[in-house]
Amino acid sequence: MTARIIDGKAVAERLRGQLAARIAALPFRPGLRVVRVGDDPASGVYVRNKDRAAAAAGFDSATIHLPADTRESDLLMLVEDLNIDPAVDGILVQLPLPPQIRPEMVIAAIDPAKDVDGFHPVNAGRLAAQQPGLVPCTPKGVMHLLREAGARLAGARAVVLGRSQIVGRPMAQLLLAADCTVTIAHSRTRDLPAECRRAEILVAAVGRAEMVRGEWIGEGAVVIDVGINHNGAGKLVGDVAFDAAAERAAAINPVPGGVGPMTIACLLENTLEAALARRG
Ligand code: GUN
């Protein structure tokens, strides 16, 4: 079998176009504020991409860049200002934060109604309790891609590789809500290759370059590779050894060009949802 290639860039472009059309019809511009603390270069790229995509889709978007030695209390005060600013519908504080700032304190300070990352414990709880709320962008983007790939989810054996708060855990919740039979596999799982091989839907989110080998992929599986890693040669690769996996999978996304663009599109989708919920 040679896999169908899932073009995340194209799906994300379409979604951003739909969002732009909905925003153009609104009597107001939904507001997004992205906060960056310090000078982590990767964060710089992500924040710029988010800001650009938001502005292009018609959001009132701005980035607030604070120095690396910002005190936690000062960041918490900024978050409070954004919480009460009526022009702001979505707040995103880019991670990682410098060591003097506890990310859990910052996330907990964000108004859950403006938490467009979906990281606040209230939103994580709502997702687990099957109540409406803001859902983390990367897993939300993966669900879009799975539907786009025509994956039959109800009853399917889904394996999520990785148990992070940002991707693995919410991913498992979303697949469960879509009636998959979900396994969360991780670094302590016994016989990872065997667990992966059973998957009809495999979502890899471990952050280790090409850890998932071709032999780990079941024939006809739909594979979503969330990873963005540099391999030994400095090349950008996913968590899955793409060429070998593509010989067995029914569908797989490339890296780059897969989940990354979807994460940004879903951030915009969340910001629009937050705006509509707040302003009616
Ligand atoms: N750092 C890496 N991914 C993310 C994300 O989705 N949101 C935020 N806020 N920071 C990140």
Checking ipTM against 0.90, whether it exceeds it is yes
Does residue 228's CB lie within 6 angstroms of at least one atom of ligand 1?
Answer: no
pTM of the model: 0.97
Which token pair is 33? Answer: 């504020």
Residue nearest to atom 11 of ligand 1 (CA): 95
Q: For 222-233, what is each residue's pLDDT tens digit?
A: 999 999 999 999
Tell me the C-alpha distance between 134 and 57, whole Å.
Answer: 20
Mean pLDDT across the chain, nearest whole number?
A: 97
Q: How many CB atoms lie within 10 A of CB 53?
A: 21
H or E stretch covering 74 = helix 72-84
Q: Which CATH superfamily is domain 28-112 in?
A: Leucine Dehydrogenase, chain A, domain 1 (3.40.50.10860)
Does residue 89's CB lie within 6 angstroms of at least one atom of ligand 1?
Answer: no
Cβ pair 124, 97 in contact under 8 A: no
Residue nearest to atom 1 of ligand 1 (CA): 95
List residues with catalytic annotation.
Answer: 50, 94, 117
Instruction: Let me know if the fold of 28-112 is the same as that of 136-259.
Output: yes
Average pLDDT of 236-260?
97
Partner residues linked to 89 by β-bridges: none
Average pLDDT of 238-247?
98
The backbone torsions φ and ψ at residue 223, rounded to the nearest 5 degrees and listed phi first, read: -115, 125
H or E stretch covering 140 = helix 137-148
- In the chain, the percentage of residues whose pLDDT exceeds 70 is 100
Tell me the C-alpha distance between 266 and 209, whole Å.
Answer: 25
Q: Is 33 annotated as a binding residue?
A: no
Q: For 161-172, what is each residue's pLDDT tens digit?
A: 999 999 999 999
pLDDT of amino acid 256: 96
- In the chain, the percentage of residues whose pLDDT exceeds 90 is 99
Task: Pick from 33, 37, 117 the residue to mutate for probing ligand 1's pocket: most ligand atoms within 8 Å of its CB.
Answer: 117
**Ligand 1 atom at shortest distance from the alpha carbon of 43:** 1
Collapsing DSSP states into helix, strand and coil, what is residue 135? coil
Asked whether the predicted pLDDT for residue 191 surpasses 80, the reply is: yes
Cβ pair 275, 116 in contact under 8 A: no
pLDDT of amino acid 280: 77
Asked whether the predicted pLDDT for residue 153 surpasses 80, the reply is: yes
Q: Is 264 annotated as a binding residue?
A: no
Does residue 94's CB lie within 6 angstroms of at least one atom of ligand 1?
Answer: yes
**Ranges of each domain in the chain:** 28-112, 136-259
Does residue 137's CB lie within 6 angstroms of at least one atom of ligand 1?
Answer: yes
Cβ pair 61, 54 in contact under 8 A: yes
Cα of 183 from ligand 1 centre, angstroms: 24
Strands of the sheet with 60-66, listed across from one edge: 60-66, 31-37, 90-93
pLDDT of amino acid 105: 98
Q: Cα angle vertex 81, ends 77, 87, to 5°?
A: 160
- How far, in Å, are 109, 247, 278 from residue 131 at the CA level? 21, 39, 17
Collapsing DSSP states into helix, strand and coil, what is residue 31? strand
Average pLDDT of 272-277?
98
Select from 54, 51, 135, 41 the least CA-distant residue to 96: 41
**Ligand 1 atom at shortest distance from the alpha carbon of 96:** 1
**Ligand 1 atom at shortest distance from the alpha carbon of 137:** 6
Cα of 46 from ligand 1 centre, angstroms: 8
User: In sequence order, which ranges of 178-253 are alpha helices (DSSP H)?
Assistant: 192-197, 242-246
Q: Which CATH superfamily is domain 136-259 in?
A: NAD(P)-binding Rossmann-like Domain (3.40.50.720)
Select from 190, 259, 272, 198 the least CA-distant residue to 225: 259
Q: For 42-98, what is each residue's pLDDT tens digit?
A: 999 999 999 999 999 999 999 999 999 999 999 999 999 999 999 999 999 999 999
Cα of 43 from ligand 1 centre, angstroms: 8
* 5 Cβ neighbours under 8 A, 6+ residues apart: 246, 251, 252, 253, 254
Average pLDDT of 208-229?
98
Does residue 54's CB lie within 6 angstroms of at least one atom of ligand 1?
Answer: no
pLDDT of amino acid 181: 98
Residue nearest to atom 9 of ligand 1 (CA): 94
Tell me the C-alpha distance between 246 and 221, whole Å.
Answer: 10
